[in-house]
Amino acid sequence: MNRQISKERKQYLKSKRQKQCLICLTQIAILVGFLVIWEVLADRKIIDSFIMSQPSRIWATFMNLSSNDLIKHMGVTIYETIVGFLLGTGLGILIAIILWWSDFLSKVAEPYLVVLNSLPKVALRTSHNNMGRSRNTSYHSNGSCYFFNCNYSRKFKWIFKNR
């Protein structure tokens, strides 16, 4: 099966490859330009390198990952995430099969599953008391509102506390 490619087809494929190469080179140039501008702005103190860091400092930190066992800890975290996902998925599939097979168990578990499904998923998480938060802080409302401080929501002067 000898297939001849026409001259026009070859020309089309060549222009397609050139266009893909140009797109890739432009993307690389934009990335390199962004990193160079970021490094220069941080060197000249135009942007705060404490807040925005610097590409050179990020690269140096990345090169020193093995010296502080971060790669080992990342491996453990990734392993636990994958194992937890697979166990949760497997257990969920097993429970779904059992409930599908047994009409009796399905009817018994139905109200509990409806209640669990209607609960907000954040309500099912564990407490943050063991995650580095202080027990003596009075401005947390039992873990239910971290982004907006609920204790200040009735006092409007907290908005203007610097005035």
pLDDT tens column, 51-90: 889 999 999 888 887 777 878 888 999 999 999 999 999 9
Which is more confidently placed, 107 or 161?
Answer: 107
Terminal Cα distance for the chain, rounded: 84
Residue with tokens 């006092």: 155
Q: What pLDDT does residue 23 have?
A: 97
Ordered by start, the domain boundaries in the chain are 8-63, 68-122
CA-based nearest residue to 55, from 32, 72, 39, 76: 39
Amino acid at 82: I
Helix (H, G, I), strand (E, B) or coil at 154: coil
At 8, the pLDDT band (50, 70, 90 cuts) reads very high
Least confident of 36-45, 125-134, 147-156: 147-156
CA-based nearest residue to 92, from 113, 74, 107: 113
Q: What pLDDT does residue 147 have?
A: 44
